[in-house]
Amino acid sequence: MSDSGIDLRAHVTEAEVRARGRALRETTPVTARDRAALGADRPDVLDFLRAAHANRLPQLVPLRIGRMMSSPFTFYRGAAGLMAADLHGGPVSGLTAQICGDAHAANFGLFGTAQGDIIMDINDFDESVPGPWEWDVDRLAASLVLAGRESGVDADGCRHAAHEAARAYRLETDQLSRMPFLAAWTALPDESVIGTAKADDLLDNFKKAAKKARKNTSAKVVAKWTHIDDHETGIRKHRFVSDPPVLTAVPDEIAEAVIDGLEGYASTLRDSGAHLLARFAVSDIAFRIVGTGSVGLHSYVALLHGNDGEALVLQLKQSIPSALAPYLPAPPVAHEGERIVRAARLSQAHSDILLGWTSVRLGSEPLPFIVRQFRNYKGSIDPATLSADDLDDYGRLAGALLARAHARSLDPRLTAGYLDGDERFEDAVAAFAVRYADRTEQDHARLVAAVEAGQLPAELPLD
């Protein structure tokens, strides 16, 4: 065996690998997923929030709290670390994958490949670390219950969506375990995955989202968010139009630091990406608030121009340690942006050709960032707006996509052996999902009460 740790001399049959996975059931049966919602290491909700906000831009913390107040589902989206505390110490099979770490239902989205195909996959890896694959399944299932409740789906429908996500995960894992390795590895999650996941009722939603995504380009950003400024130098340049607090201009010294970071990021691009990037020039830099979990971190958009008015908008987002890191010890990483990018490249069937990482010096110490295209045909299907008939299909689709992502770092033959066709797995996951959704509603109510009592500052979101 070489230093790589790969042994290409000994062949291990599918039956042997599956048997190793099946043996793990003796220690941790699949029914163990049905358990209490609260973990022994759970912090107080308000203490958790204060700790999460300690290193964020203080002027934006009230906006983050305001967004988390808007619903239990939105609260959940900003509380991956709280759920990690609850999952820590719970039953797991012992099989480790590169997990998303925040695999809630809204973190699956549409985006374009370099060839212009629209695919759907996990699209956020800020919390990604090696960890128990079950944590992602539990987080997805509970999020479906919360999303369903927000859209008015009844209790049976919410539970069924969580059940179907876990069932689809099990079935897709088994399917992948029996496929030729190359076929399983290279399959793109395009429109065909809907039929594979038996999510046909979602086809219209996918097509509508894909049609909208095809219009979601850098050129659209330029048309909507910029104007031409030529009064200072006489050179016509596009500039971002400020729209506080979401989009704001930055001082020249920050813009220069961001451009320095972009020049450094070129070396982290795959293939010939650096040669492509070198043909563009930066026109403007602005600060832009994004998401829920990322509010309060440094986040910038860079407007670049190429041939004949061609526009490219890149996003630079500050990278901080995963909220799961305290509960899943792993070797320290040299750069948090690199951690996120490598996780995406490993887990996604196709990743952004301009995805990379860099450091930006905004003070005495450089801060880590990821860089990616801001608009490369991005789109979404909002799970919190779906009817019961569509929510279970969304659950099946997301469950299948999650199984595909995990299968790139964890041999699906092992996981399939552990699951062993046991339908009690999805029953157990669904029971926990409902229980954890109840817990999240209580946590959300605690946040709302704290804001109303003046214990935490909150600002209602404007976008």
Q: Are 305 and 312 in contact (CB under 8 A)?
A: yes
Are 123 and 29 within one domain?
yes
Q: Is residue 206 part of a domain?
A: no
Verify that 367 and 235 share a domain, yes or no.
yes
In terms of Cα–Cα distance, which of 386, 350, 358, 421 is closest to 202? Answer: 386
Listed in sequence order, the residues at least 6 apart from 251 whose beta carbon sits closer than 8 Å to its beta carbon are none
Residues 48, 189, single domain; the answer is: yes
Q: Do 409 and 362 sit in the same domain of this protein?
A: no
In-domain check, residue 31: yes
Token pair belonging to 253: 């010294």
74, β-bridge pairs: none
Instruction: Flag whether 47 is in a domain.
Output: yes
8 domain-assigned: no
For residues 431, 433, 439, 441, the Cα torsion angle rounded to the nearest 10 degrees is -120
Q: 7 lies in a domain?
A: no
Q: Which residue has the tokens 């909220």?
A: 323
| Residues 437, 198, 172: CA angle, nearest 5 degrees | 75
Rounded Cα distance between 302 and 281, Å, is 10
Which of 373, 393, 414 is the endpoint of a domain? Answer: 373
Establish if 268 belongs to a structural domain. Answer: yes
Q: Are residues 128 and 224 in the same domain?
A: no
Report which of 255, 265, 283 is spatially closest to residue 319, judged by C-alpha positions.
265
Q: Which of 339, 373, 407 is the last residue of a domain?
A: 373
Are 262 and 188 part of one and the same domain?
no
- What is the number of domains present in the chain? 2
The per-residue pLDDT for 236 is 59
Strands 281-288 and 299-305: antiparallel
Q: Specify whether 261 is located in the same domain as 344.
A: yes
The verdict on 441 and 313 lying in the same domain is: no
User: Is residue 33 a contact partner of residue 429, using CB atoms and an 8 Å limit?
Assistant: yes
Domain match, 232 and 129 both: no
Are 124 and 102 spatial neighbours (Cβ–Cβ below 8 Å)?
yes
Residue 210 within a domain: no
34 shares its domain with 168:
yes
> Within 10 Å of residue 16's Cβ, how many Cβ atoms?
11
Distance CA 309, CA 29 (A): 59
Tokens encoding 23: 């043996």
359 with 400, same domain: the answer is no
Of the three residues 315, 348, 373, the one that is the final residue of a domain is 373
Retrieve residue 8's tokens. Answer: 């290409």
Which residues of the chain have a pLDDT value below 70? 1-2, 230-236, 461-463
- The parent domain of residue 277 ranges over 218-373
Domain-located, residue 119: yes
Interatomic CA distance for residues 443 and 316, integer angstroms = 31
The answer to whether residues 228 and 349 belong to one domain is yes
| Alpha-carbon distances of 140 from 19, 169, 262, 395, rounded to whole Å | 27, 11, 34, 8
